[in-house]
Amino acid sequence: MIFKFYGPPGTGKTYRLINRAKAYVRKGVSTHKIGYFAFTRKAAKEARERMPFDEKQLPYFQTLHAFSYHTLRLSEENIMQPYHYEELGKLLNIKVNYVDKFNKEETHYLTNDNPYFQMIGRAINRDITIREEFDRNEHDKKYIKWETLKHIHDNFLEYKRTAKLQDFNDIINNVLDKVPKFDVVFIDEAQDLSPLQWKLYDKLKENSKDIYLAGDDDQAIFTWAGADVERFINEPAKEKVLRYSKRISKAVQDQSSVIVNRILGQRKIKDYFPKTNEGQSFHISDLGQIDLSKGKWLILSRTKSNMLKIMEQLKKKNLYYDSNKGKGHKVRVYSAKKFYDLWKSGKTLEEKNIKDVKEFTGNVSWDRTISWYDAFVNVDVNEKNYIRQMLERGERLDEKARIWVSTIHAIKGGEQDNVILSLEQGDKIQKAIKKSLDKQDEEHRVWYVGTTRAKHNLYKLKAKIKRKGYQL
C-alpha cells in the first residue's frame, strides 16, 4: 500500500512519518526492516534522534545517497573528490570562468561545482541526454559551449572508468539492482526527488510492503537541479492533506496564499488552518527601520550575492549575526581575546593558547595593563571595533547568534519568530523566468518557502530598484 501526506508549511510532515515508524515498531517490525529516507543529512539525523533507539539500530535512516553508498559498501577512495575534477580539467587543459563568493570573475581549471559539471549532473538527475539538458537551458548558452560540454562529458566518463571512480549520481544508478527488502519505507520531502531518485523509489516500492511519501508540491524549489514534482503529485496513493499548521500565523498565511495562487502549472490545492491569528506582515525599505538589537531574526535572500550585501550591512551596524558562510566576526580573534583576558586575570595558559594569542599580538610585549584591543596589533581596526561594540552591547559571541542570514534555498525546513525577506531577485533570474512557465512557477514556490519560514511577523524588504524585485 502506498500512502501520501501533503504537508503545507508547519503541519508536521516529518512528525507524522516518525509516529508511523514508531507504530510499525510497536507492531513488531524490526528497525532493520524500516527504510526512512530524508532529502538532507540534517533531516536524516533529526529523524534518527526522534526515534527511541540507538543510531546503530537505525541503519536505514539516511539520505538516498548515503543509503546507496553504504549498500554498495563503498569508501571515500571509490568516490570522485574535488581534486579529481580539477585533475581532469588540467589533463584536458580546460579553464572556465566563474564568479566567486565575493562576486569577482576569475578563471580556473575545472572544479566539481563549475557550470559544465553542474549541467552534466542535471542531465543524469533528469535521466536525459546532455544534449537535451543543453537545449533546455537557453540562458546558459552564453557561458557554456556545446563542443566543450560534450568534450568534458565524454572524457569525464572515461576518467571515471579508468580510475574506477563513481560520482554521487553513479551510486544511485549502481544500487538499483541491490536494493534490500523492507517491511515499510518512508520518504520525506518527496517533491524534491529527481527522475533518477524516482527510479530508486520504484525499486524500493517493488521490494517493500508499505510506502509512505510526504511532501508539499508548493515547496518544490529544486526543479532547477532536476526535481520532478509532477511525479510526486501524480504518484497513485492513498492521500491525506495535513490541515493544521503548528508554525505560521494568519498574517503569514494570508501573504503566502497570494504567492501560491500565482502558480499556473499543476498543483494540489491544500487548505489548512494557521496556528494563531496573531502576527503581522510589513513592507520596509531599509533594515534600519527595524530594531534588530533584541529578539530572534531570520534574514532571507534570493541570491548569494545579495545575502553577502546584507551581511555587510549588519556588520556596519555592529550587529552579531551568523550564517552558513560563518559568523560575522572572526571566531579565532574572539577566541584569542578570551585567552588573553584569562592571562590578564592571572591564569596560566596552555602552550597552544599562547601561540594563538601571539599570532594577533605580534611583537607587542605582554602587559597586563594593556587591553586586548590595544594588544591585538595584527587585527584590522574595523574587526576589533566590531567585536568590541558587540561585546559592549552584551552579545555572547561564543553562542548562537540571534540573527541568522541565509538564502531561501539553504534555509528550507527552518523557521523563526521574525523573518525579513529581501525581495531582490537579480537580472539573471528575471531573464530566466520570462522564458519559461516552469521557471515562473518555481520562482513563486521559492518565495512561498521564504515567506512561510516566519512564525509570527514577516518583514518584506523592498528592492532598491522596483523592477528588480519580486512583487509582494
Question: Length of the chain in residues, anyone?
Answer: 472
User: Which of 304, 298, 223, 300 minimizes the C-alpha distance to 263?
Assistant: 223
Query: Residue 102: what pLDDT?
Result: 42
Residue 206 grid coordinates: 517493488
| C-alpha span between 351 and 77 (Å, rounded) | 36
Query: Residue 322: what pLDDT?
Result: 93
What is the pTM (predicted TM-score) of this model? 0.88
Query: Residue 98: what pLDDT?
Result: 55
User: 491544500: which residue's cell?
Assistant: 270
Query: Residue 96: what pLDDT?
Result: 67
Give Cα 219 distance to the centre of its chain: 13
CATH fold label, 250-326+403-468? Rossmann fold (3.40.50)
User: 584590522: which residue's cell?
Assistant: 380
Per-residue 3-state assignment (H helix, E strand, C coil) for 349-414: CCHHHHHHHHHHHCCCCCCCCCCHHHHCCCCCHHHHHHHHHHHHCCCCCCCCCCEEEEEHHHHCCC
Q: Beta-carbon neighbour count of residue 55 at 10 Å?
A: 11
Query: Residue 99: what pLDDT?
Result: 53
User: Which of 231, 249, 250, 233 minimizes the C-alpha distance to 241?
Assistant: 233
Q: Is 421 exposed, middle or buried (0-12, 13-18, 19+ CB in 10 A)?
A: buried
CB 43 within 8 A of CB 413: yes
Fold match flag (2-74+171-241 vs 250-326+403-468):
yes
Partners of 286 in the beta sheet? Answer: none
User: 560534450: which residue's cell?
Assistant: 150
Task: Provide block-wise average pLDDT over 10 residues at a time, the chain (472 residues).
Answer: 95 94 95 94 92 92 95 93 88 69 57 83 91 83 86 93 93 94 96 95 95 96 90 96 94 94 93 89 92 93 92 92 88 91 87 85 77 90 92 87 94 91 87 77 94 95 88 90
Residue 292 grid coordinates: 534588530
Query: Residue 453: what pLDDT?
Result: 96
Rg (CA), the chain: 25
Query: Residue 106: what pLDDT?
Result: 57
Query: Residue 108: what pLDDT?
Result: 67
| C-alpha span between 270 and 242 (Å, rounded) | 8
User: 495535513: which residue's cell?
Assistant: 242
Q: Beta-carbon neighbour count of residue 204 at 10 Å?
A: 21
CATH match for 2-74+171-241 among 3.40.50.300, 3.90.700.10, 1.10.3210.10, 3.30.910.20: 3.40.50.300
CB 196 within 8 A of CB 124: yes
Give Cα 117 distance to the centre of its chain: 19
DSSP secondary structure code for residue 27 in this structure: T
| C-alpha span between 17 and 318 (Å, rounded) | 43
The DSSP bridge pattern shows strands 95-99 and 105-109 to be antiparallel
Write down the domain spans for the chain.
2-74+171-241, 80-165, 250-326+403-468, 331-392
Q: Beta-carbon neighbour count of residue 155 at 10 Å?
A: 15
Query: Residue 107: what pLDDT?
Result: 60
| C-alpha span between 87 and 91 (Å, rounded) | 6
Query: Residue 117: what pLDDT?
Result: 87
Residues 6 or more apart whose Cβ sits within 8 Å of residue 274: 245, 248, 249, 250, 252, 253
CB 252 within 8 A of CB 279: yes
Query: Residue 101: what pLDDT?
Result: 45
